[in-house]
Amino acid sequence: MKELSKTEQKSMEVRIPIGPIYLNGNLDIPEGAKGLVVFAHGSGSSRFSSRNRYVAQELQKEGLGTLLFDLLTTEEERVDMVTAHIRFDIDLLANRLVEVTNWLLNNPDTRELIIGYFGASTGAAAALIAAKEHANAVKAVVSRGGRPDLAEKALSDVKAPTLLIVGGQDFQVIEMNQWALDRLKVEQKELKIVPGATHLFEEPGTLEEVANLAGEWFKSYLLEKK
């Protein structure tokens, strides 16, 4: 993949208003981008997740814009570090993603871009619920080591082509993803298992495979189709 120079890419820190609060994010848009991938991170993570940032950089090299943002405010993150309750409030996370998508659809820098979601862990469930709510705007979903089963009520109504990626050694999550795949009604759906990978895809070459799979999926549905 080619490296992008700063002149070929617009990068900015954003503060996204959600009612009375603001969520912080990093928006990167390569020159000529037609698609934008919004990242919904997983349990106890943030926009600084090294794994999601790596995948985002690889997608940018393919000409896709990316938005990594914090699903929780700083104060909420402090509380969640102690209680671990908010990260499993899937409805709250999904509503935040819906509102962020509304902001993107009205932002001059992003309103012409075709949107996809990349969800990890509990963020995958939030992504699927938000994709159901934004069926006309969201054209693809990718889950990495996700919990799509937590979006049970929304699965049958998801219209976006959905790719579920799971590590080959993440046995319990494989079962959860297969369960969710069986309940997705959208025709374009797939479960990809990365051999040798555990839940966090820390093994050599496994995160690269995630980025390759996600890149091909998003290019198919965000760049090649209107």
Q: What is the pLDDT of residues 47-86, one digit of tens each?
A: 877 889 999 999 999 999 999 998 888 888 787 677 766 7
E-strand ranges in 41-181 read 65-69, 114-120, 138-144, 162-167
- pLDDT at 87 (0 to 100): 66
Residue 57: partners with Cβ closer than 8 Å, 6 or more residues away = none
Measure CA of the first residue to CA of the last residue in the chain; give whole Å: 24
Query: Three-state SS for 178?
Result: helix
* Superfamily classification of domain 8-223: Alpha/Beta hydrolase fold, catalytic domain (3.40.50.1820)
* Beta strands at 21-30 and 138-144: parallel, antiparallel or unpaired: unpaired
Nearest one of 223, 226, 225, 207 to 58, comparing CA atoms: 207
68 in Cβ contact with 37 (< 8 Å): no
- pLDDT at 2 (0 to 100): 44
How far, in Å, CA of 69 to CA of 48, rounded? 9
- pLDDT at 226 (0 to 100): 46
- pLDDT at 44 (0 to 100): 59
* Beta strands at 114-120 and 35-40: parallel, antiparallel or unpaired: parallel
Low-confidence ranges of the chain (pLDDT < 50): 1-7, 226
- pLDDT at 47 (0 to 100): 80
- pLDDT at 24 (0 to 100): 93
**Percent of the chain having pLDDT more than 90?**
79
